[in-house]
Amino acid sequence: MRSMNKVLSSTLAALLIAGSGTMVFAKDFSDVDDLSYAKTEIDMLSDIGVIKGTSDTEFSPDELVTREQMAAFLFRLMLNKEDAGRVNTTQFKDLYEPYYNGAISWANASGYILGTSKTTFEPTGGITLQDGMAMLVRALGQEKDNMNAGYPWSYINAGIKLGLDRGLEDVAYDKTLTRAQTAILLYNAMTSEYLVAGTTANGNVYYESTSLIEEVFGYDMADAVLVSTNTYTTGGNTVVKNGYVTLTCTDGEGKQFTMTVPYADMKLSGSANDRIGQSFRVIFQKTGNTYSVLSTVEMSRTEEHTSAAVSSDEKTVTIGENKYTLVDKYSDSLATNNNELILYAYDDNGTLEQIETIGELKNLLGFYRITLIYDAGEDVARRAVLRGYELGQLNIDKDGKINLADGLTEEKLTGGLTNPDKAESGDYVLYYFNENTKELEIGMLLDIVSGTVRRITADTVKLGDDTYKLGNTTAGISAESIRNQLALGHTVNAVIWQDAVIAIHEGTVRTDRSEYLVALSDAHRIYENGSFRYVATVSIDGETKNVYVKDGSAREGQVYR
């Protein structure tokens, strides 16, 4: 890799870029919000002047890109200059807009954008993904002999190897690109490998490897993994300063270093804790010992699994579609055929403990969720994070105190409350509570199946037409403890996890209408026949029964007609 000594202060970088006609400041397009497609790429490219808005306040992300516009984008991307001039130095007779003449002349003379004939350019024609990849492969110095003869697949294959298709995997190669899609393509090129030709003293040509973001724009770039937050860490210490995270980084020369930066500057969705172990490509500046992140692009994807199968010899574990061995560090990839996985598990004191053996892992496979983390382009995960859960019935009293959080209210959960399934009081859930960090995650809302007990064996029960296993030994729930709560012919509400009954709620019966009833409990939800229903314990004509009620509004002690 080429040595790039271009760590610039914010002031110097701004002066250099301003001197080239491109001011760096955050754009605020009304049609590009925090959830918009390609927001990261649009923000970065517009801030450094590669791609502009269609007005001061709009970007028009869905507008299609033309060949003349692509020439202007390429000019700014490759030279960090604003204006290519108005002179047409080509033989093209169909150029009609002087604004683009200089950029088209430069792009054609450089060999990046070819004409559609010797005298035509078709400036208003659309840019397809395969066109854009071909132009950028050439611009990045990656074109090889006779690639034009193999168009478009010779360029498509080269572009994929360079990562130009990241974020565009679902776009057809012959589809005309939108401005948002073009922003992603240009960003990928800006952070990809750029080969710069040089000549030795004896006239031999050689190539040095860098990137456009470093060579042309003077920023630094690194591949990074988020390893620590204020709450958790995969090693070392948690971050002391609120709102900051620590990244372990590898630059283009393979050198490793760490940086601690505000998480908000990374402009990522979700909480920092949810991002631990994930990888990113960061564009940054360094002033003294302070790092400033200008742009972050996700380079990994995640999959969540609630089941893992340990092999009989306890040497491997199958998660999803792959079989893994657990390691404390990766070996030489040429020395093993195994899929090596580094696995961390949450504990209750702010540390993600590394799990190095299958035996350790087996003890954690009671109630859990495993998040597999795949690096860009990989079909096998490299890292994973396991969060173990406990079983409980959620109860929130009238003062807002949550039984699963040692009676803390939501306001006192300084580590945050996560409740993606919107579990309500009375629901059975799997949860994680960290006493030290005051964090409560209600990980899963469990199904409650209502049915008549038709058959009981040592380790199974048939409820209605479906058969379920009994208990969860790893979680400390024996089959016997569940079996002792069942009786043939009785209707029960069974709490289900992975096709197993792990708890029994009281039975439910239908009753005839009555003039009045007294609620002896709040209504709670159950899951039956594909939908949620509500059940309450009530007194009807002096008899205590569990009955279906209209909704969740029934409250203990209230009288209803």
Residue 513 has pLDDT above 50, yes or no: no
- Whether residue 262 is preceded by a cis peptide bond, meaning omega within 30 degrees of 0, is no
- Give the pLDDT band of residue 395 (cuts 50, 70, 90): very high
Amino acid identity of residue 403, one-letter, is N
pTM for the model stands at 0.73
Sign of the CA dihedral with 227 first, then 232, 233, and 234 last: negative
Whole-angstrom distance, CA of residue 543 vs CA of residue 561: 16
pLDDT at 64 over 90: yes
pLDDT in tens, 322-372: 999 999 988 876 556 789 999 999 876 667 889 999 999 999 999 999 999
Please enumerate in sequence order all residues whose Cβ is within 8 A of that of 423, keeping only pairs 6 or more positions apart, or say none: 394, 429, 442, 445
219-298: which CATH architecture? Beta Barrel (2.40)
- pLDDT confidence band for 297 (50 / 70 / 90): confident
The sign of the CA dihedral 33, 38, 44, 45 is negative
Which residues have C-beta within 8 Å of that of residue 372, sequence separation ≥ 6?
Answer: 302, 303, 304, 305, 319, 320, 381, 383, 384
Long-range contact pairs involving 509-515 (C-beta distance under 8 Å, separation at least 24): 509/545, 509/546, 509/547, 510/547, 510/548, 511/540, 511/545, 511/547, 514/540, 514/541, 515/561
Q: Over the stretch 421-445, which tens digit does the pLDDT of each residue have?
A: 999 999 999 999 988 888 999 999 9
Q: For 85-110, what is each residue's pLDDT tens digit? A: 999 999 999 999 999 999 999 999 99
Q: What is the pLDDT of residues 27-49, one digit of tens each?
A: 679 999 877 888 889 988 998 89
Confidence of residue 471 (pLDDT cuts 50, 70, 90): very high
| Domain positions in the chain | 10-194, 219-298, 301-388, 390-445, 447-560
Q: What is the pLDDT of residue 130?
A: 96
CA-to-CA distance for 40 and 493, rounded, in angstroms? 48
Are the C-beta atoms of 446 and 421 separated by less than 8 Å?
no
